[in-house]
């Protein structure tokens, strides 16, 4: 193999693909990237056996070939090179030579045959959509997904396609995000896919041109996205995603309009007075007003107020302020609608888009018990 490429372009490519390389690979070859020089292109591939990525850049291919190089060392070297052009040459399957100006570097390599074969997508069902649409669908649902839950399927987001509609759902059992969009696909097609969170985050990161067209490729055990010079493929999580529809309030008794930015500001303030062991803020709704309160024996007490179009009886409910803030940050519009039945059932947050957010309340008696426990502990250091 012999190819000459632009240093700037390969550094840009490395920025996209480096996070796919496993930090603690199950097998040694996974710490490598596959470098291929074919038809005037340099193709770089990486995989951790769940998520795979293939990127392309233009290059002057003098001699076609392929080699696997240790990703971390190769990436670090390329970044440090100051020459505008880099030449990669291989004379055997055991070593690659990197030439930049008057500098020559030799890196031990492995043959292409040892690198895992990336999945074949030729039989996939395709859905086309804009990059901005896909990024919004993924980011506004994935923030609610679990990170390290023993319920494996919650460590991903659910994609359902039915009646030419795509629905993305993420939940960790304490909050839920659901967002829908039209799907340009055969009306009879339907499918359900649980996408690993790592893959979702990589998809969001790789979408840098909002106007680009993206092809979403669907298979029974994997999905991928394709755009211009990049393909990202992921295996799907197996298992049954929980029926989350039953926790979404259908016809809440109370619908309250709240100014989103003001609520974000006040929640940030009052959240500073929550203890690490009980991150809880009381939402107290009274005539025309919302009061937010947090108390901690270690820190103190915070109380803030804002207008609310509420006209019912006094309602007191507690939420984790950080979960509520996450939802507000992913909401749109100047005002949001907060819908609820009582202090014991989930609250629903909506805006003018198709998104629905649900947050589970914290039990007020448990919150009070934790505060009392903190007070008792501060008076009695031996208390455990």
Q: Are 328 and 259 in contact (CB under 8 A)?
A: no
Residue 174 CB-half CA count within 13 A: 16
For the beta carbon of residue 142, count every other beta carbon within 10 angstroms: 21
How high is the pLDDT of residue 114? 93
Residues 6+ apart with CB under 8 A from 276: none
Dihedral sign (CA 250, 252, 255, 256): negative
pLDDT of 369 strictly over 60: no
Return mean pLDDT, the chain: 90
| 20 confidence band (pLDDT: 50, 70, 90) | very high
Name the strands in the sheet holding 95-100, side by side, starting at the edge strand that comes first in the sequence. Answer: 60-63, 2-6, 85-92, 95-100, 103-108
| 365 confidence band (pLDDT: 50, 70, 90) | low
State pLDDT tens for residues 98-148: 999 999 999 999 999 999 999 888 889 999 999 999 999 999 999 999 998
Tokens of residue 253, six digits: 């008794």
Domain 248-379 has CATH 3.10.150.10: yes
At the fourth CATH level, the homologous superfamily of domain 2-114 is DNA Polymerase III, subunit A, domain 2 (3.10.150.10)
Residue with token string 């980011």 = 139
Q: Of 46-50, 81-85, 296-300, 307-311, which range is least confident?
A: 296-300
Q: What are phi and psi of 174, to 5 degrees?
A: -110, -20
| 364 confidence band (pLDDT: 50, 70, 90) | low
Residues 6+ apart with CB under 8 A from 204: 135, 138, 139, 142
Q: What are phi and psi of 60, to 5 degrees?
A: -90, 100
pLDDT of 352 strictly over 90: yes
State pLDDT tens for residues 32-46: 999 999 999 999 999
Give domain limits for the chain. Answer: 2-114, 125-166+183-245, 248-379
Query: If you classify domain 125-166+183-245 with CATH, what class do you get?
Result: alpha beta
State pLDDT tens for residues 230-249: 999 999 999 999 999 999 99
Domain 125-166+183-245 shares a fold with domain 248-379: yes
Mean pLDDT across the stretch 316-334? 96
Tokens of residue 232, six digits: 């990202």
């Amino acid at each position: 193999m012999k190819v000459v490429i632009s240093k700037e372009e390969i550094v840009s490519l490395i920025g996209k693909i480096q996070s796919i390389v496993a930090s603690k690979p199950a097998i040694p070859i996974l710490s490598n990237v596959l470098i291929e020089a074919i038809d005037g292109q340099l193709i770089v591939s990486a995989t951790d056996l769940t998520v795979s990525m293939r990127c392309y850049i233009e290059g002057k291919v003098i001699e076609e070939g392929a080699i696997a190089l240790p990703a971390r060392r190769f990436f670090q070297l390329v970044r440090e090179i100051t020459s505008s052009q880099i030449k990669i040459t291989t004379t055997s399957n055991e070593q690659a030579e990197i030439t930049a100006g008057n500098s020559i570097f030799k890196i031990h390599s492995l043959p292409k045959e040892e690198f895992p074969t990336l999945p074949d997508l030729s039989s996939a069902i395709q859905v086309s959509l804009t990059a901005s649409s896909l990024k919004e669908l993924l980011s506004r649902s994935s923030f609610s997904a679990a990170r390290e839950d023993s319920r494996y399927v919650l460590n991903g987001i659910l994609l359902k396609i039915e009646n030419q509609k795509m629905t993305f759902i993420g939940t960790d059992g304490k909050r839920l995000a659901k967002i829908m969009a039209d799907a340009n696909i055969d009306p009879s097609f339907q499918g359900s896919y649980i996408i690993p969170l790592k893959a979702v985050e990589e998809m969001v990161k790789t979408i840098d041109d909002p106007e680009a067209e993206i092809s979403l490729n669907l298979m029974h055990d994997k999905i991928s996205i394709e755009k211009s010079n990049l393909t990202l493929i992921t295996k799907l999580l197996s298992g049954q995603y929980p029926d989350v529809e039953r926790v979404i309030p259908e016809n809440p008794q109370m619908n309250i309009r709240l100014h989103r930015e003001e609520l974000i500001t006040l929640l940030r303030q009052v959240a500073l007075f929550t203890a690490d062991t009980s991150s809880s803020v009381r939402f107290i709704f009274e005539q025309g007003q919302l009061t937010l309160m947090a108390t901690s024996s270690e820190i103190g007490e915070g109380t803030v107020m804002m207008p609310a179009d509420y006209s019912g009886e006094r309602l007191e409910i507690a939420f984790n302020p950080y979960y509520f803030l996450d939802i507000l940050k992913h909401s749109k519009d100047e005002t949001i609608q907060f819908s609820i039945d009582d202090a014991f059932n989930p609250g629903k947050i909506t805006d003018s888009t198709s998104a629905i957010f649900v947050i589970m309340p914290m039990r007020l008696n448990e919150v009070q018990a934790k505060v009392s426990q903190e007070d008792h502990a501060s008076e009695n250091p031996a208390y455990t």
